[in-house]
Amino acid sequence: MLAWVHQSIAAEREFLESLFGLKSDGRMVGSVRNFDSKDEEEDWIRELMDLAVGKLCLPLKVCLAPFFFSGILDLLIHCIR
């Protein structure tokens, strides 16, 4: 699930860069992205990425919630004994 979220975020970013016509910054894959530019297009991309990532959080929470709650219940049962 986390790999799907990561790939979705990367694909969305690449799509928005191509949509707004931003050129690649020449960085290597996996290297840290530099966000110092004050372009208007970059601001739009950041806003749209925030919305996209926010919408990805719900499926991730739904998928991971049973694991967290089952672990907490097991811990509580163990502590009560």
The confidence band for 9, taking pLDDT boundaries of 50, 70 and 90, is confident
Tokens of 54: 């926010």
**Reported pTM:** 0.58
Tell me the average pLDDT across 13-40: 73
* Euclidean distance between CA atoms 21 and 24, whole angstroms: 9
Between 57 and 37, whose confidence is greater?
A: 57
Angle at 33 between CA 28 and CA 37, to 5 degrees: 125
